[in-house]
Amino acid sequence: MKRRDFSLACGSTLAAGTWLMSAAQAQTTTPAQVQGKRPEAGKEYLPLDKPAGVEAPAGKIEVVEFFWYNCPHCNAFEPTFEAWSKRAPKDVVIRRVPVAFRSDFGPQQRLYYALEAMGLVEQLHAKVFYAIHVERKRLDQPEAIINWVSQQGVDKAKFTDQFNAFSTASKATRATQLMNAYKVEGVPAMGVAGRFYTDGTMAKGMEHVLQVVEYLAGEVRKGR
C-alpha cells in the first residue's frame, strides 16, 4: 500500500482500497524475466541520501522488512520472506519493522514488539496474518489484540503489561523514525544496511525484491 493512500483508505482490512501493487501487477514480472540483469540505482532500488540507523553489530549486514499486519501483500509475502530469512547468509541480520503511516497503526506496532519482547514472534507472527486475512478478525484495537493473544495460550496479564510497557512504546517510536529515515513509500518494503531502499513497485514484484536485496548485500559485503 502506498503511503499517500493511507489517508484515504479505511482502517478495515476488508475495506482498504489501494495497495502497493495489484495482484495482476505482481504476476506480470517473474524472477526469470529479470535474472541476469544487474539492479539499477534509481530504478530497482534507491541509495539513501542520509544513512539510516542500524542495530546489527559490526561486520553484519542488516536487512529490514517493513510491514503492516493488515496489508494483504505483506501477508502474501510473509512465507517467502520467512523462507528466505532462514537461508540468508550468516552475515545477514534480519530485522522486521512494523510501519505506522497513521497514528491508528500504533496498536499493531505494539503487538509486534510485545511479541518480540516475550520471545513469541516465531510462534505467533504468522498467526497474526492468518487471523486477519483468513479468519477475518479485526486486530487493530488494544482490547481485541490482547484478547486474541490470550486465546493463543499466552498469559493475558503478562502480555498486557508488555503491550503497555514504555519499552514497547519506545520501540514503536523508533520504528516510525526508521520508516521515515528509509523514506518508505509502501509495504512490504526492504532496507539494506541503512543505505538502500527497495519495494515491490520499484522491483516489479516481491520475489525480485529479494534478488535486489541479495545484490545490495553483496555490494555492502564488498565494501561498496
Residue 183 has pLDDT above 50, yes or no: yes
73: in domain: yes
Cβ–Cβ under 8 Å, residues 118 and 158? yes
Ramachandran bin of 5, using left for φ above 0, alpha for ψ from -120 to 50, beta for the remaining angles? alpha
Looking at residue 29, its pLDDT comes to 38
What would you report as the CA-atom Rg of the chain, rounded to the nearest whole angstrom?
A: 17
Mean pLDDT throughout 120-127?
98
Domain that holds residue 196: 63-221
Looking at residue 9, its pLDDT comes to 45
Looking at residue 185, its pLDDT comes to 87
52: in domain: no
Which of 38 and 155 is assigned the larger pLDDT?
155
Element (H, E) at 96: strand 92-98
Looking at residue 2, its pLDDT comes to 58
pTM over 0.75: yes
Looking at residue 162, its pLDDT comes to 98
Mean pLDDT throughout 66-75?
98
Q: How many domains are contained in the chain? A: 1
Q: Quick one: pLDDT band at residue 37, thresholds 50, 70, 90?
A: confident
The count of other CB atoms within 10 Å of the CB of residue 141 is 13
DSSP SS3 for 182: coil
53: in domain: no
Amino acid identity of residue 178, one-letter, is L
Looking at residue 8, its pLDDT comes to 41
45: in domain: no
93: in domain: yes
Looking at residue 7, its pLDDT comes to 42
140: in domain: yes
40: in domain: no
Average pLDDT, the chain: 88
Cβ–Cβ under 8 Å, residues 206 and 188? yes
* Residue 193 belongs to domain with CATH number: 3.40.30.10
Looking at residue 107, its pLDDT comes to 98
Supply φ then ψ for residue 15, to 5 degrees.
Answer: -100, -10
Q: Quick one: pLDDT band at residue 18, thresholds 50, 70, 90?
A: very low
Q: Quick one: pLDDT band at residue 12, thresholds 50, 70, 90?
A: very low
Which of 23 and 174 is assigned the larger pLDDT?
174
50: in domain: no
